[in-house]
């Protein structure tokens, strides 16, 4: 018997489209990975009666009701008071919650305000879920066969509570259905080309296995899910290894890997260092690399040379090359990579120079034209890519693609 879950997202900002409801997406992924079925997502405003109606409706359909939002310290946040009414309980001051709030303020060099102090008052009927990343504690209410869990709407606070407290507690209390997931991350091949390559493999899947194509900027994730049948691991592994043979050249990682985490692990393993020289990506490549904790062990630095002058002064790109071929060219990409490797004294350097638009395009070099260079101790080359016309997508895909160039270089030659 499947345990049904419902999610209630509270906040006017979701109804008027001021923010995208990424919490629902993330929670849906986590529940599905944990073997629970998210039956319905209900988004409502900060309104007492609507919250109570939504709680009653969800209770009539699901055993587990997750709630996000409306826990801020200000007047428009009603969730805590409404839950007090709903469960016919009252607020009590919680020492632990208060010391968490103190720590948050302390870490930001501030003292707790009266308004925030009230966030330490919790319904006496709930089991508090303490918040190490923000000032609003979560609340866990056991209610007959049902459980209601209220969490803050701030994504990284909610995510920490789900992973550290809520999902583990749910697994103790409710049977999850057998479920296995395996995700393969590919780069350099489109969704439909992938599906053509693996068509016969996909057609052989039994009904309890489902393949999902999850395209994202510059990559396609393939997620195979087995659901509802015991002991699927062995079967899953066999199918995955068959799949890997079919698309080996395009695979760069698995499950929660990112191209920056995969490249980071490779650099650590080989004890190599890297620097980057960026033009059109404007620092995003450096940002991706340094978003990985511990990246300072292999990332020495990067130069964002947006102007030709800085390409020459900072990366010793020759004025001649800029004049003869233009800033977006094979020659300049290679010189940028060589320059970055030299000034940061690293084993490898990546360079990106291109036209992200909306301006700057021409007939022979349209928007989306991007040259990427790589320099090593004994080689140096550049490749040209056409990455569409959307500025932010060009930046994202260019950075991912450059990291994948480095990954292949390391795997093939080191």
Residues 45-84 within binding reach of a second copy (CB under 8 A): 45-46, 50, 54, 57, 72-76
Bridge partner residues of 140 (DSSP)? 127, 149
DSSP class of residue 407 equals H
| Inter-residue long-range contacts of 206-211, CB under 8 Å, 24+ positions, other chains counted | 208/232, 209/235, 209/236, 209/239
Joined together, the tokens standing for residue 268 give 């650590």
d(CA 295, CA 84): 46
Q: Which of residues 134-153 bind a second copy (CB under 8 A)?
A: none
| Smallest separation, CB 63 to a second copy (Å) | 16
| Smallest separation, CB 329 to a second copy (Å) | 17
Q: Which of 89, 261, 265, 314 binds a second copy (CB under 8 A)?
A: 314
> Could you tell me which of 62, 61, 31, 65 has the C-alpha nearest to residue 51?
65
| Smallest separation, CB 44 to a second copy (Å) | 5
| Smallest separation, CB 192 to a second copy (Å) | 4
| Smallest separation, CB 403 to a second copy (Å) | 13
**Of residues 145 and 191, the one with the C-beta less far from a second copy:** 191
d(CA 225, CA 212): 8
Q: Which of residues 209-268 bind a second copy (CB under 8 A)?
A: 210-215, 223, 225
**Of residues 72 and 253, the one with the C-beta less far from a second copy:** 72
Q: Which of residues 355-384 bind a second copy (CB under 8 A)?
A: 357-360, 366, 368
Q: Which of 89, 316, 318, 390 binds a second copy (CB under 8 A)?
A: 390
Residue 348 interacting with a second copy (CB under 8 A): no
Bridge partner residues of 184 (DSSP)? 222, 254
| Residue-wise DSSP of 332-399 | HHHHHHHHHHHHHT-SEEEEEEE--SSS---SSS-TTEEEEEEE-SS-EEEEEEE--S-HHHHHHHHH
Check the CA dihedral 269-250-400-18 and report its sign. negative
| Smallest separation, CB 413 to a second copy (Å) | 25
Q: Which of 243, 259, 352, 395 binds a second copy (CB under 8 A)?
A: 395
| Smallest separation, CB 125 to a second copy (Å) | 26
For 296, residues 6+ apart whose C-beta sits below 8 A from its C-beta are 290
Q: Which of 56, 96, 99, 115 binds a second copy (CB under 8 A)?
A: 115
**Of residues 127 and 360, the one with the C-beta less far from a second copy:** 360
């Amino acid at each position: 018997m499947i345990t049904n879950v419902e999610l209630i997202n509270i906040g006017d900002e979701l109804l008027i489209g001021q923010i995208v409801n990424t919490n629902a997406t993330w929670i849906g992924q986590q529940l599905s990975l944990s073997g629970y079925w998210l039956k319905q997502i209900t988004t409502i405003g900060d309104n007492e009666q609507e919250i109570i109606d939504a709680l009653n409706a969800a209770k009539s359909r699901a055993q587990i009701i997750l709630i996000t939002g409306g826990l801020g310290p200000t007047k428009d946040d009603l969730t805590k008071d409404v839950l007090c009414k709903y469960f016919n309980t009252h607020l009590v001051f919680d020492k632990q919650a208060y010391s968490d709030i103190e720590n948050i303020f302390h870490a930001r060099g501030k003292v707790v305000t009266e308004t925030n102090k009230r966030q330490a008052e919790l319904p006496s009927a709930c089991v508090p879920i303490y918040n190490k990343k923000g000032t609003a504690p979560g609340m866990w209410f056991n209610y007959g066969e049902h459980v209601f869990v209220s969490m803050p709407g701030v994504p990284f606070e909610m995510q920490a509570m789900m992973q550290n407290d809520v999902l583990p507690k749910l697994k103790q209390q409710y049977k999850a259905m057998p479920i296995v997931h395996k995700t393969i991350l590919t780069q350099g091949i489109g969704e439909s080309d992938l599906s053509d390559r693996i068509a016969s493999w996909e057609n052989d899947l039994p009904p309890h296995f489902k393949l999902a194509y999850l395209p994202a900027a510059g990559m396609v994730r393939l997620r195979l899910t087995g659901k509802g049948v015991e002991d699927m691991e062995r079967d899953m592994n066999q199918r995955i290894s068959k799949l890997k043979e079919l698309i080996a050249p395009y695979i760069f990682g698995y499950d929660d890997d990112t191209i920056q985490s995969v490249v980071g692990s490779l650099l650590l393993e080989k004890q190599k260092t890297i620097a980057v020289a960026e033009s059109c990506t404007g620092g995003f490549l450096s940002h991706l690399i340094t978003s990985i904790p511990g990246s300072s062990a292999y990332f020495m630095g990067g130069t964002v040379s947006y102007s030709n002058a800085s390409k020459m002064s900072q990366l010793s790109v020759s004025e001649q090359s800029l004049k003869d071929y233009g800033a977006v060219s094979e020659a300049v990409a290679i010189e940028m990579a060589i320059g970055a490797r030299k000034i940061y004294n690293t084993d490898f350097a990546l360079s990106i120079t291109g036209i992200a638009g909306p301006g700057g395009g021409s007939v022979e070099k349209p928007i989306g034209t991007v040259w990427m260079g790589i320099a090593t101790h004994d080689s140096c080359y550049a490749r040209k890519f056409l990455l569409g016309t959307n500025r932010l997508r060009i930046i994202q895909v260019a950075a991912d693609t450059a990291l994948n160039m480095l990954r292949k270089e390391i795997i093939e030659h080191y």
